[in-house]
Amino acid sequence: MKVITLDDGAQLHVSVRGHGSPVILLHSWAADHAAWGPIGTELAHRFTVYAWDARGHGRSTATGPSVPTVARMALDLRELIRHFRLERPTVVAHSMGALTLWQLMADSGCSGLGKACIIDQSPRLITDDHWRLGIYGNWPAERNRAFMTALRSNFPEAVLRLLADGHNEQTRQHVAANTRGIQRLRETLARLAPEPLIACWDSLGQADYRSVLPLITVPTVLVYGTASQYYGTGTARYVADRIPGAVLHLFEGADHSPHLAERERFLTLLSAFITAGADEDLA
């Protein structure tokens, strides 16, 4: 694990493995670099893989004076690229990671980036009368505020409820049955420091990257699950229609983590995308 001291004194922990062209892996909210599991290992056979613990997550928890907002994490991502002197990296961004990447693009465009892989994310979480493609298709500001109150009261149970209230029936059943997997997840969540993660969530809820999508100039591949807990296929198609030249892959029956649900398929298409480009047939 490499440690980068950032401009505000915070320390960013980054797993670096492999050889070849650079690939950056950005994990979801309340996770860390380990969430990529065997995917990172497999990619490292062909590429140099940089998988961070985002500020406020994993070993990078609660270091430095800056709150882990999406804007600050985008600055951290830019510092990571500069620190390792990466030339045109491919950024693979799941969930919160996609918001972080879009924030970087909003701040400084696509300069220095090579390619992007976005996994199951909406450009705006909060819904209203004119936007129904955020969380659940029904996540107005007042519901988001209630969720943050629940996080402060009982962080693990609030996160599990977020999963259970979504579109995926299997997840709902697993939470209701309190399966061993759900018990392990609850134990993991209970070990996390909640306040940095709540501050991070607050910033994610305020973000809106709809205007950024048409400005993306790097080759982009999109991977969405048709049984995502949070987003329908309408969200996937909205993003695909607005990013110039984007290639959309819908993983049938996969949840919010389609890259984990169909790991081999994901690795095959991602490796082809990195080495050949997004304008080729990756089906």
CATH number at residue 70: 3.40.50.1820
CA distance 161 to 159: 5
User: What is d(CA 232, CA 230) in angstroms, rounded to the nearest whole number?
Assistant: 7
Condensed to tens digits (0 to 9), the pLDDT of residues 199-212 reads 999 999 999 999 99
Instruction: Go through 118-155 and write b for each residue having 16 or more CB atoms within 10 A of its CB, e for each that does not.
Output: bbbbbbbbbbeeebebbbbbebeeeebeebeeebeeeb
pLDDT value of residue 80? 98
With respect to residue 175, please indicate whether it lies within any of the assigned structural domains.
Answer: no
Q: What pLDDT was estimated at residue 64?
A: 67
Q: Which domain holds residue 222?
A: 2-124+208-276
pLDDT at 65 (0 to 100) = 74
Residue 46 has pLDDT above 50, yes or no: yes
Percentage with pLDDT > 90 across the chain: 94
Asked if residue 102 has pLDDT above 80, the reply is yes
Residue 177 belongs to a domain: no
CA atoms within 13 A on the CB side of 48: 13
**Average pLDDT for residues 116-145, to the nearest whole number?**
98
Q: What is the dihedral of CA 219, 93, 40, 229, to 10 degrees?
A: -120
171 domain residue, yes or no: no
pLDDT above 50: residue 162: yes
> What is the average pLDDT across 25-35?
98
Q: Is residue 70 part of a domain?
A: yes
Domain annotation covers residue 268: yes
Q: Domain total for the chain? A: 1
Whether pLDDT at 122 is above 70: yes
Give the largest Cα separation in the chain, rounded.
49
Tell me which DSSP letter residue 12 carries.
Answer: E
pLDDT of residue 66: 81
Chain segment 51-69, per-residue pLDDT in tens: 999 999 999 976 667 889 9
pLDDT band at 124, cuts 50/70/90? very high
Does the pLDDT at position 282 exceed 70? no
| 11 within some domain | yes
In this prediction, residue 279 has a pLDDT band, given cuts at 50, 70 and 90, of very low
3-state secondary structure of 108: helix
Helix/strand/coil (H/E/C) assignment for every residue in 26-67: ECCCCCCHHHHCHHHHHHCCCCEEEEEECCCCHHHCCCCCCC
Average pLDDT, the chain: 95
Q: Which of 157, 234, 246 minimizes the C-alpha distance to 194?
A: 157
Amino acid at 228: S
| Cβ atoms < 10 Å from Cβ of 116 | 26
Q: Would you give the distance in Å from CA 75 to the centre of its chain?
A: 16
| Encoded amino acid at 155, one letter | F
User: pTM of the full predicted structure?
Assistant: 0.95
pLDDT in tens, 61-97: 766 678 899 999 999 999 999 999 999 999 999 999 9
